[in-house]
A and B are shown apart, each in its own frame.
Chain A
């Protein structure tokens, strides 16, 4: 799986949007872009994924650059419960493992 680059940490005020960038300049044509997050003392949980088009679900939105070399996870209104480490992961056509990097620690301030 190709490598991703994320900022170490980001801060946000509660109820404001959070934009989490991810660079993946070596992405291949068959790589999907996945986001997972890990709340303190919990297992990771799936957030969203996409291939080429922007995606929305109840948790977040994913904006994918036209050249696919970067993407942005958007939390529309951050809550205290969104404080977590967010991981951007590329998955190729294999079934298998997720390769977690260091992720971005999101801090939400009341």
Chain B
């Protein structure tokens, strides 16, 4: 059973360009989470999605960032008009959509390292 897959693993963009980060959850998982880790900082939650729905976007910056998890295909984190401060590692995690809530383990991908020049 393949784990959570993210691509690309490394992404370089110039200021003002768009960045698209993809996440394929583990087979059978219907919940996807995105986290960001700025250099020398901790992991911060960004957004939580179920198929076709955003459940919690309390950690998303108000502008330029969006996320989707369509019925078919991977989840996408999109950053428009990137700035240097967006340089970070972006991790995706997935979990099952059933079972005891407190037990719900999240499985993380290897991350996408975004560098903005």
A91 and chain B: residue at smallest CB distance: B102
The A interface, classified by DSSP as helix, strand, loop or mixed, is: loop
Within 8 A of B (CB), among A64-109: 91-103
Specify the chain A residue showing the minimal Cβ separation from B106: A98
- Interface footprint category on B: 20 to 34
Distance, CA A42 to CA B48, complexed state (A): 20
A67 smallest CB distance to B (angstroms)? 18
A21 interfacial by beta-carbon distance below 8 Å:
no
Give the CA-CA distance A99 to B56 in the complex, in Å. 13
Closest chain B residue to A101, Cβ basis: B42
Question: Chain B, 12-48, contact with A by CB distance < 8 Å: what is the 0/1 string?
Answer: 0000000000000000000101010000001111001
Residue picked from B4, B42, B55, B107, most chain A C-beta under 10 Å: B42
A56 interface residue (CB < 8 Å to B): no
Q: Known interface pairs A32-B102, A32-B103, A96-B48. Does A102 touch B110 (Cβ–Cβ under 8 Å)? A: no
A93 to B31, CA, bound (A): 16
A26 within 8 A of B: no
Q: Which residues of B contact A103 (CB under 8 A)?
A: 42
Chain A residues lying within 8 Å of B48, measured Cβ to Cβ, are 95-97
Given A95-B31, A97-B45, A46-B106 contact (CB < 8 Å): yes
In the bound complex, CA of A22 to CA of B55 (Å): 29
Complex-state Cα separation, A49 to B93, whole angstroms: 17
Closest CB pairs A-B (n = 10)? A43-B108, A32-B102, A97-B45, A100-B43, A46-B105, A43-B91, A96-B48, A93-B101, A44-B108, A96-B56
* Subset of 20 A-B contacts with CB under 8 Å: A32-B103, A38-B43, A43-B4, A43-B109, A43-B110, A44-B106, A46-B105, A49-B103, A51-B102, A92-B102, A95-B31, A95-B48, A95-B104, A96-B56, A97-B48, A98-B43, A100-B45, A101-B42, A102-B42, A103-B42
